[in-house]
A and B are shown apart, each in its own frame.
Chain A
Amino acid sequence: MTATAAPALTDEQLDAFGSELDAIRERVLADLGARDADYIRGVIRAQRGLEVAGRGLLFLGFLPPAWLGGVAALSLSKILDNMEIGHNVMHGQYDWMEDPALSGTSFEWDSACPSEQWRHSHNYMHHTHTNIVGRDRDIGYGVLRMSEEQRWHPYYLGNPVYAVVLALLFQWGVALHDLEVEQLRTGRASLADRRELLRGIWRKGGRQVLKDYVLFPALAGPGAPQVLAGNAAANVVRNVWSFMIIFCGHFPDGTQEFSLEETAEESRGQWYRRQLLGSANLTGGKLFHVLSGNLSHQIEHHLFPDLPAHRYGEIAVEVKGICARYGIAYNSGPLPRQFGTVVRKIARLALPSRPRGEATPPAVEVARPEPALALAG
C-alpha cells in the first residue's frame, strides 16, 4: 500500500509538484489580513456566546427543552473551542495577528489535554511523521489496531470495544496521548518516567473537572444534577464528534501508510505527496466544515498546517487540480461513507490479518485520474 500505489513520479516532477504547492502557501500567506482576523474573531464570539447561553440554559435544566437546548449550545461551544479555534490556533495559524490571546505557543483550550503536550504529540509528532507506521502515534493512539502493519495480538480482539470507549472519553484519550500508553503497557517505560506529563494532565484535567462537574453544578444549587448531567452530555457529544472527524482524517479506505525506510530522505515534494496520500477529506456544507474545524479539509490541513483553516476550502479547488495533473490520489467523501470504512477497519483489524500487500481493495471510490499533462522530467 505504499510507493507501489503511488504513481511513479520522477524527482524533477516531485520538485515541480512541491513548488506548485509552495506557491499556493506563499500566495495565501501574502494575502492574510482583516478577513482572516474577522473570521476567527467571529467564530470566537459565536463560541463564547454559545457557551454562556448553554450554561445559562442548563441552570433552567428542570425544564426539559431548556436542558436539551443547553446541552446543544454547550456541545457546539466545546466543538468550536476545540476544533475551529483551539486546534487551529495552536497550529500557529493566527500567530501573524500578534495577538497574545491567539498565540499558538500559549493558547489553552477547553479540553482535558494540556495544550503544551498537544503541541508536541500533534503538531510535531503527527504532522511531521504523518502515517509513518512506528512514528506517527495517531495510528491507533497506542490503543487500537488501525493498520495491518501493527502486529496482531489477542489484546486487539477488543478493538471495537476500545474504539467505543475511546470515542466516549476522547478528550481523556487525547490527554493521555503523549504518555505513550503502549510503552507503559509493554514495560518499555515506567510511570516514573512520565511524572512531569502526568502532573500536567492532572493539573489541566483537574481544572476541567472542577469547572464542569463541581463548580457549575454547585452554583445551580438544587439544579445541580441537571447541570452536571448536561455538562457530561456536552463533553460526550464533543468527544464523539471529534473522534469521528479525526478518525476520518487518516483511516478511511484509500489512505496510505508509509514505512520509516521509504520516508527517510524525503524531499519537500515527497513530503507533500505523503501528506496527500495519507489524508482524506470529508465533503459537506459550510456549517459542517466549520464544526469539523475545517479538518474536513484534512488534505489541505496536512499540506499547510499553519494556514488559517477557513482558507482550506478555497485552496482545495487548486490542490485537487494539481493532484489531477500529477496523477496523485485525492481521497474525499461524505462523512457516513468515510466513517463507515473506518468502522469496518476497526472491526476487521480486531482479527488476525496479514501485513501489507494483502489488503482488501479500497471500498471507496478514490479519484485517481490519469495524468492529464505530459510531465516532462
Chain B
Amino acid sequence: MFTELSTRPLPARRLARRVAGSGLVGALTYPHGVDRYLELVRPRWTLNELRAEVVAVRRSATDSVTLTLAPNDLWTGFEAGQHVAVTVVVDGVRRTRFYSPAGSAHGAPGQVELTVRRHAGGLVSQHLHDHARVGTVVGLGAAAGDFVLPARRPERLLLISGGSGITPLLSMLRTLCDEGHDAPVAFLHYARGREHLAYREELAELAARHRNVRVLNAFTREDGGDLRGHFGPDHLRHVLSGGAAAEAYVCGPSALLESVRGAWSAQGRSTPVRSESFVPPAYAPSGDELGGTVRFGRSELSQASSGATLLEQAEAAGLTPAYGCRMGICHTCTCRKLAGRVRDVRSGELSSAEAESIQLCVSVPAGDVELDL
C-alpha cells in the first residue's frame, strides 16, 4: 500500500500516506505514534523510519551474498559509490553496518542491491549470510559518502577493487554504462580465486556489450585469472598501456590502496586517485589502555582519561549530565557511547566498540571513548 514498487505512487496510496501521517492520526496513536502500529501490519510500512524489504537473495560467490532490497517511500536514491547504513537484529540486538549499493544509480527505481561478504567473526555479515530471506526487513540509512564520480564524467577511468570493495566500483561502472558513457573504462578486480569472484558473469556481460569497457580479474591465490598476484606496477602497466593518463577509483583493503598510490607516484602520474577503504571492525578485545582520551562529541570537548567513571569525568570537564543514584540502578545517566570501549565497574566486563547506550556512573573508559554528550 505505501511501498509497493512503482515509479509513481498511486493516488490511493498517496492519500493513505497523507491520512496516516496526519496530525489527527498522530493524536489518536499518541504516545507511540502511527509507525508503531503500521509496522505490525507490515514491518516496512513506517512513515518516519527508512526500512527495506529483501526481495531477492542470490549467492554468486562462496563467501558473498547479494541482496536486492526494496526500500519504503523514504528512500531518495543514491549516487554510484555511496554507502548506506544497514541495520539488522542479531540475537535481539540492533546492529548497524555500512554497505555500498552495487547496482546502477539509474537502475530499477526503488531497488538497492547489496553484496555482503562474510567476515570471520562479523556478526552482521554472518547473520545476513545465514538468515537473510525474501521478506526479511532491515533498517536502512540514507545514502551518504563522497566517494562518487564527478558530475562531468572523467575521460579515461581506471576502477580497481579488492574483495568486497567491488560494490561501489561496480555501481559506478553500471551507472556509466546506463548513461551511454563511451570513454574507456578499465575495471581491475582482485579476488583470492575463481570461487571468491563475485559478479563474474555480470562483469563479463558488461565488457561484451560495451566496447569501451575492459574487465580484468586478478587472482591473488591461484592461476586462471587475467592477472595473478597482488597489485603492482606490472599490473598497472597491463591495464594502462603506454602511460595513458587516467583517473583512478580504488576500493578495497588498505594494502591495495597503498600499493596503487605507490605505483601512481612511482610512475609520476598526476591524475587523481580517489579511494575508500573497507576495514572490517576489529573484534578482538584489547586490554585496558590507560591514558586514552575521552571525547564529549556534542560539547566538542576532549580530555585525557583520568580513570574515573565517565560520569565523574564529564562533571570534571564542566558538563552537567543527568544522573540519579550514581550506582547503576536508575539509568538516569544513560548516554550514547559513539565509539570506543568501556568497562563496567560492577562486573569488570568490557563493552564492544560499537555505538551503544551505556550508564555513565558505572562505566570507566578502556582506551579512547567518544560520548554523545
| B-binding residues in A (CB < 8 A) | 22, 26, 29, 32-38, 44-45, 48-49, 52, 91-92, 95-99, 101, 103-105, 108-110, 119-120, 123-125, 127-128, 207-208, 210-211, 215-216, 219, 271, 305-306
Number of interface residues of B (CB under 8 A): 29
- State whether A32 touches B92 (Cβ < 8 A): yes
- State whether B356 touches A108 (Cβ < 8 A): no
Q: Map CB proximity to A onto B12-55 as digits: 1 under 8 Å, 0 otherwise.
A: 00000000000010011011100011001000000000000000
Q: Return the chain B residue nearest A108 by Cβ.
A: B31
- State whether A104 touches B334 (Cβ < 8 A): yes
- State whether A98 touches B325 (Cβ < 8 A): no
Q: Map CB proximity to A onto B82-97 as digits: 1 under 8 Å, 0 otherwise.
A: 0000000101111100
Q: Which of A37, A99, A124, A210 contacts B332 (CB 8 A)?
A: A124
- State whether B94 touches A128 (Cβ < 8 A): no
- State whether B91 touches A34 (Cβ < 8 A): yes
**B residues in contact with A305, CB < 8 Å:** 329-330
Most buried by A among B24, B32, B37, B327: B32
Q: A103-B357, A120-B324 are in contact. Are A127 and B330 (CB under 8 A)?
A: yes
Nearest Cβ distance between residue B373 and chain A, in whole angstroms?
13
A-facing residues in B300-319 (Cβ within 8 Å)? none
Nearest Cβ distance between residue B89 and chain A, in whole angstroms?
7
B7 within 8 A of A: no
B346 within 8 A of A: yes
- State whether A99 touches B94 (Cβ < 8 A): yes
Q: A33-B91, A33-B92 are in contact. Are A127 and B329 (CB under 8 A)?
A: yes
- State whether B331 touches A306 (Cβ < 8 A): yes
In angstroms, Cα B267 to Cα A363, docked, is: 93
In angstroms, Cα B24 to Cα A97, docked, is: 31
**B residues in contact with A211, CB < 8 Å:** 27-28, 30
- State whether B332 touches A123 (Cβ < 8 A): yes
Q: Return the chain B residue nearest A204 by Cβ.
A: B31
- State whether A124 touches B93 (Cβ < 8 A): no
B347 within 8 A of A: yes
In angstroms, Cα B31 to Cα A128, docked, is: 28
User: DSSP class of A's interface residues: helix, strand, loop or mixed?
Assistant: helix
Offer 8 A-B interface pairs, CB within 8 angstroms, sorted by A. Answer: A38-B92, A48-B36, A110-B31, A110-B32, A119-B332, A124-B325, A124-B329, A207-B27
Q: Which of B28, B324, B332, B346 contacts A215 (CB 8 A)?
A: B28
Q: A110-B31, A128-B325, A215-B24 are in contact. Are A105 and B331 (CB under 8 A)?
A: yes
- State whether B92 touches A34 (Cβ < 8 A): yes
**B residues in contact with A125, CB < 8 Å:** 324
Q: A37-B92, A207-B31, A215-B27 are in contact. Are A98 and B332 (CB under 8 A)?
A: no
- State whether B330 touches A96 (Cβ < 8 A): no
In angstroms, Cα B93 to Cα A35, docked, is: 11
**A residues in contact with B329, CB < 8 Å:** 123-124, 127-128, 305-306
**B residues in contact with A123, CB < 8 Å:** 324, 329-332
Q: Map CB proximity to A onto B153-166 as digits: 1 under 8 Å, 0 otherwise.
A: 00000000000000
**A residues in contact with B30, CB < 8 Å:** 207-208, 211
In angstroms, Cα B27 to Cα A35, docked, is: 33
- Add 19 more A-B contacts to A105-B334, A127-B325 (CB < 8 A): A37-B93, A38-B92, A52-B37, A92-B331, A96-B92, A96-B357, A97-B89, A97-B92, A97-B94, A101-B36, A104-B357, A108-B32, A109-B31, A119-B331, A127-B330, A128-B329, A215-B24, A305-B329, A306-B331
Q: Map CB proximity to A onto B327-357 as digits: 1 under 8 Å, 0 otherwise.
A: 1011110100000000000110100000011
Q: Return the chain B residue nearest A114 by Cβ.
A: B31
**A residues in contact with B27, CB < 8 Å:** 207, 210-211, 215
Q: Return the chain B residue nearest A103 by Cβ.
A: B357
**A residues in contact with B332, CB < 8 Å:** 119-120, 123-124
**B residues in contact with A91, CB < 8 Å:** 331
In angstroms, Cα B27 to Cα A194, docked, is: 27
**B residues in contact with A48, CB < 8 Å:** 32, 36-37, 40
**B residues in contact with A36, CB < 8 Å:** 92
In angstroms, Cα B32 to Cα A44, docked, is: 11
Q: Return the chain B residue nearest A85 by Cβ.
A: B32
Q: Map CB proximity to A onto B187-206 as digits: 1 under 8 Å, 0 otherwise.
A: 00000000000000000000
In angstroms, Cα B29 to Cα A52, docked, is: 10
**B residues in contact with A99, CB < 8 Å:** 94
Q: A207-B27, A211-B27, A215-B24 are in contact. Are A95 and B331 (CB under 8 A)?
A: yes
Q: Return the chain A residue nearest B92 by Cβ.
A: A37
Q: Return the chain A residue nearest B334 by Cβ.
A: A105
Q: Return the chain B residue nearest A125 by Cβ.
A: B324
In angstroms, Cα B40 to Cα A45, docked, is: 7
